[in-house]
Amino acid sequence: MFANQHSTANNSITLREDGHIYLYVANNKSISASIGGVVGRVLSQGHNAVADSNGLWKTPDSHTLTPTSIGALSVDEFAGIPLPFPGAVTPAGFLKCNGQVFNKTTYPILAARCCLDR
């Protein structure tokens, strides 16, 4: 049934034979884990995270996160690749690709990365 189990008065960790890991942690405590040598915090509903109205988990410092602080790519990095978007209107700065010729002055990054002379 259990491959390994460790418990204290308030916390326990169980590694089951089926590969599932169960953590039980006292209130107001954080959980850190190392998976494949990478260490990080675990989000735990009711402990250090809450779900917003969209079901997305938020931490107390979520409001301070920016695309730059999390290492998100600039929109310029996507130039020259097909990038589907779920809308009827093409976003500003994007070109709707229907095989037409595009203006290299309007889209210089795309022109620099595109191998076709269009």
Give me 84's structure tokens. Answer: 């589907």
The mean per-residue pLDDT over the stretch 64-84 comes to 76
DSSP bridge pairs for 92: none
- pLDDT tens per residue, range 86-111: 788 888 877 777 777 778 888 787 77
Q: How is 50-96 classified by DSSP, letter by letter? A: EE-TTS-EE-TTGGG--TTTTTPPPGGGGTTS----SSSSPPTT---
Mean pLDDT, all residues of the chain: 73
118 confidence band (pLDDT: 50, 70, 90): very low
Q: Which residue has the higher pLDDT, 113 or 115?
A: 113
CA distances from 87 to 48, 78, 79, 91 (A): 35, 18, 19, 9
Helix (H, G, I), strand (E, B) or coil at 101: coil
Q: Report the percentage of the chain scoring pLDDT > 70.
A: 74
